[in-house]
Chain A
Amino acid sequence: MMNTNCDHVVDYLNGTLTAEEKQTFEQHLATCADCRELVDAVGELPYLAEPAEPPVGMKSRILANVFEEEPQKQAEPKRPVEKEKTVPMVKPKARRSSWAPLIAAVLLLSLLGNAYALFKLADEQQPATESAFQSIELQPGEAFGGSAKAAIIQEEGSLEVVVQAEQLEQLQGDEVYQIWLLKEGQPVPAGAFTPDADQQGSAYYSMTENTEGWDTIAITREPEAGNETPEGEIVLSSEI
């Protein structure tokens, strides 16, 4: 019996056992020091490989895909409320891109309206909620021709960011324009977008945690979506 199991070691290493056979062999592995040593010795062979330099951006691509692959049921229930709300227009460019600036514009107007209403309210009554509205013109980095405006609306318990950008350079491959909020040099992602055919792009982002103390807003050109820390160059930025 033992010998029969030991015979399976080569097939085990070559991944040609059925699930059932594999399970049986693994039970055997737990009790047979000889086979375990063999498997461990073979496990050293990869170190024979010549070092190869991983492709640029591989880590963020892989990690983004790994965490994306997570079944939605598991991902959602933990923090259902304050997920980022972007208006990304990432994939179906032709159909949706022309709507995105409009959506952003409507949102911006709506938020402006809210802010105005709140200001009025604050004037007329004792301030029930703190609210602040800020319109910011972002400065392009060296050799970048685009421009962008951001509106930041802070209310008690939430922070809304709307960005509208123009004359953007077209992106390549999986690249996106990523918006960041920074506090003492520490960035957090605050929405992303890709330009449409008219080189315009916009995004809306809402956060309910950590809403205060941001000192800078910046836009980078990232090699792919979903980066938690910036990899690309800053193309537009401004103090808040």
Chain B
Amino acid sequence: MEKSSDFMLYTRIQQKEKAALEQLYDRYEKILFSFLYKMTEDRDLAEEALQEVFIKLWRGKGEYDESKGKFTSWLFTMSRNSAIDLIRKQKKPSVPLDEIGDLVSSETAVEELAEWQEQKDQIQEAVSELSSEQQKMIQLFYFKGMTHETISTMCNIPLGTVKSRIRLALSKLKKTLHGVQERGAIDDEY
């Protein structure tokens, strides 16, 4: 339901309907800003990245269609790429490894955002089933937007291995998330 209405909004945005863009903005402002802030660790940079995203949405021509997977995945990937571009332009020094936080935090306080919390619980559960090495790969690759080369240097792992470890980590994530979501769906029924 959510997915098709996102897609409908996107279609209306393509037809230059300002209200549709604003509605999409309202729907995703909080999660996108939080995500971009996590990546950039800089509020101004996060805002700049978010602006890039919406400029692209407004001016882009039909880049998304449903064959590319979920709308949110596409939107988040585009957002992440905007943040990566900005981070790389800034050439911010890499965060030392020992300052890379945990992916799974013990307590969260998102009471008012029930939907977000539900998704967060599921993805946290799936991530917690990854090995710490795999979690680190995802943290560095996904949230820090590091290139394979940087990860290879930082973690002292051969370049080829970095890529296959990321792939394995993502594959396992996909499988466990499936399991978690299916279980969640069954729980919901009862």
| A residues neighboring B (CB under 8 Å) | 9-10, 13-16, 26, 29-30, 36-52, 54-55, 58-59, 61-63, 65-67, 69-71, 74
Contacts and interface: CB of A to CB of B under 8 A. Distances in A.
Contacts of B50: 58, 62
B93 interface: no
B68 interface: yes
B110 A69 contact: no
B119 interface: yes
B interface: dominant SS: helix
The winner among B18, B124, B174 for most chain A CB atoms within 10 A is: B174
Contacts of A55: 43, 47
B34 A30 contact: no
B51 interface: yes
Given A16-B147, A38-B174, A50 B73 contact: no
Contact of A58 (B31, B47, B68, B138): B47
Interface stretch (B4-12, B165-173, B182-190): B165-173
Interface in B14-39: 16, 18, 21-22, 25-26, 29-35, 37-38
Interface of B: 16, 18, 21-22, 25-26, 29-35, 37-38, 43, 46-47, 50-51, 54-55, 58-59, 67-70, 72-74, 76-77, 79-81, 84-85, 103-105, 108-110, 113, 116, 119-120, 122-124, 126-127, 138, 141-143, 145, 147, 163, 166-167, 170-171, 173-174, 177-178
A9 B77 contact: no
Nearest to B47: A58
B68 A47 contact: no
Scoring B26, B171, B178 by chain A CB atoms within 10 A of each residue's CB, the highest score goes to: B171
Contacts, number: 150
B38 A49 contact: yes
Contacts of B30: 51, 54
B125 to A, nearest CB: 11
Contacts of A38: 170-171, 174
B33 to A, nearest CB: 5
Contacts of A52: 33-34, 37-38, 43, 46
A13 B38 contact: no
Contacts of A42: 73, 77, 142, 170, 173-174
23 contacts: A9-B167, A15-B77, A15-B81, A29-B67, A41-B178, A42-B142, A43-B74, A44-B123, A45-B138, A46-B34, A46-B76, A48-B123, A48-B127, A50-B34, A51-B34, A52-B38, A52-B43, A58-B47, A58-B50, A62-B54, A66-B21, A66-B51, A71-B59
A70 B108 contact: no
Given A9-B167, A47-B31, A47-B123, A15 B80 contact: yes
B38 A50 contact: yes
